[in-house]
Amino acid sequence: MYRTNTCGELRLSHVGQTVTLAGWVQRTRKMGGMTFVDLRDRYGITQLVFDESRDADLTARANKLGREFCIQAVGAVSERSNKNPNMPTGDIEIIVSGLTVLSTSDTPPFTIEDNTDGGDELRMKYRYLDLRRSAVRKNLELRHRMTILVRNFLDSRDFIEVETPILVGSTPEGARDFVVPSRMNPGQFYALPQSPQTLKQLLMVSGFDRYFQIAKCFRDEDLRADRQPEFTQIDCEMSFVHQEDVLEVFEDMARYLFKEVRGVELPAKLRQMTWHEAMRLYGSDKPDLRFGMTFVELMDVMKKGKFAVFDDAAYIGAICAPGCAAYTRKQLDQLTEFVKRPQVGAKGLVYVKYNEDGTIKSSVDKFYSQEDLLELKQKMGARDGDLVLILSGDNANKTRIQLCALRLEMGERLGLRDSNKFECLWIVDFPLFEWSDEEQRLMATHHPFTLPNPDDIPLLDEHPEQVRAVAYDFVCNGIEVGGGSLRIHDGALQEKMFKILGFTPERAMAQFGFLINAFKYGAPPHAGLAFGLDRFVSIMAGLDSIRDCIAFPKNNSGRDVMLDAPSELEPGQLDELNLKVTL
């Protein structure tokens, strides 16, 4: 056998045993007539010792070992004289009596250690080497463990795992599809699923009242730290349930995962916040509740006919940064530059410093009296030592989003976004529709099958923009981890939804006829939810990006730099598919 033990399991209790280990050389050190080799595998690191006075030829061979050589070593477990308390195997070492080089290695392009010298692109190009690093490997081990826990939990709640097709029909509503040409059906295309949405609804019609799937999904959209063109969902659907039934099950699942993975006890009942409240107080439908600084609207306080910027504004809002009145001019200028960045888009920033000595200093001193600024202090609930930061604009929603970016930046600067602290909640009562400037029409906020709030159904004909959806998002630490909704199971209501969204009956039947027809055969009331597995793992691991919890991720341009994909097709392949490429 290649090994009797792994490089992470030997302890003092094994002293005196002869063992065989196999793995990769992390580093070598020569000290006089002794050579020390750190041997690494998936399970840990063990120190090998080669003693020239015992076997000069063997030690000479050890001195020729390079980083990442794959080797096998035989030797006796011995107690170390200088123990390493930072290694689980730091109490022992192996006095080597036999060495086999299984394969040599070129010098790797970066150090394969927790603190590597490789940049993101270089590590992605050599991802198979990056995965040898314990920091990355632990993320994938966490992902594996969470997947097992999810399956066990859902199985205990009578969910059945069903695999749905990867090659499906295109659904232009929503994000862009990845399309796959069909060789056997010239001129026609499959799409890779953005989610198994309609398929899991068909499973409800089929009587599988509790379904789940660890599902691969694909969206051709612009990327950022928490997005990849292909991603994994914990995809679920249930029949004969109301909203609270769904939230109860998946609160329990979240509670179970946090307890098992992080040892964190979530509250017995998670907070629910309406979409409108979240936007009013935080400027985001995924608010980070690990810290305060909720928005305060200042229309009544700051519109006094004294400062045109505020007088002409449709919205004036502020946050109070506790203990920040001592901010220097340089720090305030940095904040002003931050809000002016194109990705934030504000025109400027107004500040008011309520100093510890009771004095007040503001960037709008010449427009407002001390009495005005004391009135603002009371409105904000500010104290001496606090800093009030104000934004205004001619569009309330846009300005709230800018203020949200400022709030998160202050939270970051003040160290309030602790990755070891978890604040979870549900966002509910989303708008059913949102206006698309690009399409110049109403679009479904989630998808066309979301159930309108029954109380708002009378508004569908005249004021659809006011209709709330029976939809819900699970948010943790300012990240949308999952979301779902109750579904429409009534054919007439579904037809009305399609009409509002601009579908002709013919187009609706062409795209969704299979679902419309299925609903004619006794569709049950049903609802669903999907968690982003990649995001959930990244939160548990305390990562800023989902890339390091995916084995082979794409870069920010959607490229796999290791496989050099996407790539051009050979002319013969294009001919088989009846395709021509024009650029």
pLDDT in tens, 527-552: 999 999 999 999 999 998 899 999 99
State the pairing for strand pair 424-428/271-274: parallel
Can you read off the two tokens belonging to residue 463? 């004021």
Q: DSSP label at 530?
A: E
What average pLDDT does the segment 359-376 reach? 95
Q: DSSP label at 259?
A: I
Q: For residue 556, what pLDDT is reported?
A: 86
- Percent of the chain whose pLDDT exceeds 90: 89
Between CA 463 and CA 581 the distance in angstroms is 45
Nearest to 37 by CA among 8, 5, 71: 71
Q: For residue 171, what pLDDT is reported?
A: 76
Domain boundaries, the chain: 12-103, 137-273+424-549, 291-413
Q: Which burial class, exposed, middle or buried, applies to 228 when counting CB atoms under 10 A from its CB (0-12, 13-18, 19+)? A: buried
> Which uninterrupted H or E stretch holds 307?
none
What average pLDDT does the segment 496-514 reach? 90
Nearest to 488 by CA among 446, 523, 514: 523
> Which uninterrupted H or E stretch holds 233?
strand 230-239
Q: For residue 550, what pLDDT is reported?
A: 95
The amino acid sitting at 406 is L
Q: Cα 79 to the chain's mean position, in Å?
A: 44
pLDDT in tens, 261-291: 999 999 999 999 999 999 999 999 999 999 9
Do 12-103 and 291-413 share a fold?
no
Can you read off the two tokens belonging to residue 521? 């055969």
* Residue 533 phi, psi dihedral angles, 5° rounding: -60, -40
Can you read off the two tokens belonging to residue 529? 């939810």
Indicate whether 224 pLDDT > 90. no
Higher pLDDT, residue 443 or 257: 257
Q: What is the CA radius of gyration of the chain?
A: 30
Indicate whether 223 pLDDT > 80. no
Q: DSSP label at 250?
A: H
- Percent of the chain whose pLDDT exceeds 70: 99
* Residue 48 phi, psi dihedral angles, 5° rounding: -100, 145
Look up the CATH superfamily of 291-413: GAD-like domain (3.30.1360.30)
> Which uninterrupted H or E stretch holds 456?
none
What angle (nearest 5°) sits at the alpha carbon of residue 52, between those of residues 47 and 56?
Answer: 120
Between CA 488 and CA 527 the distance in angstroms is 9
Q: For residue 175, what pLDDT is reported?
A: 79
Can you read off the two tokens belonging to residue 4? 């009797």
Q: For residue 437, what pLDDT is reported?
A: 82
DSSP readout, 332-349?
HHHHHHHHHSTTT--S--
State the pairing for strand pair 160-161/210-218: parallel
Q: For residue 172, what pLDDT is reported?
A: 65
Q: Residue length, the chain? A: 583
| CATH architecture of structural domain 12-103 | Beta Barrel (2.40)
Contact 69, 24 (CB under 8 A): yes
Query: Where does the pLDDT of residue 174 fall: very low under 50, low under 70, confident under 90, or very high at 90 and above?
Result: low
What average pLDDT does the segment 342-364 reach? 96
> Which residue is listed with tokens 């392009």?
109
Between CA 460 and CA 500 the distance in angstroms is 8
> Which uninterrupted H or E stretch holds 353?
strand 350-354
Q: For residue 270, what pLDDT is reported?
A: 97
Query: Where does the pLDDT of residue 142 fall: very low under 50, low under 70, confident under 90, or very high at 90 and above?
Result: very high
What are the counts of helices (DSSP H) followed by strands (DSSP E) for the chain? 16, 22
Residues with Cβ within 8 Å of residue 207, at least 6 apart in sequence: none
| DSSP-derived 3-state class of residue 48 | strand
Three-state SS annotation for 152-216: HHHHHCCCEECCCCCCECCCCCCCCCCEEECCCCCCCEEECCCCCHHHHHHHHHCCCCEEEEEEE
Q: For residue 366, what pLDDT is reported?
A: 92
Query: Where does the pLDDT of residue 348 fall: very low under 50, low under 70, confident under 90, or very high at 90 and above?
Result: very high
Q: DSSP label at 569?
A: P
Q: For residue 439, what pLDDT is reported?
A: 78
Query: Distance from first CA to last CA of the chain, Å, rounded?
Result: 56
pTM of the model: 0.92
Q: CA-CA distances (angstroms) from residue 65 to 37, 342, 451?
A: 9, 52, 65
pLDDT in tens, 75-112: 999 999 999 999 999 999 999 999 999 999 999 999 99
Q: Which fold has domain 137-273+424-549?
A: BirA Bifunctional Protein; domain 2 (3.30.930)
Indicate whether 173 pLDDT > 70. no
Q: CA-CA distances (angstroms) from residue 43 to 48, 134, 261?
A: 16, 9, 19
What average pLDDT does the segment 361-369 reach? 94
pLDDT in tens, 30-68: 999 999 999 999 999 999 999 999 999 999 999 999 999
Per the rule left: phi > 0, alpha: psi between -120 and 50, beta: everything else, 410 is: alpha
Can you read off the two tokens belonging to residue 572? 């013969």
Average pLDDT score over the chain: 95
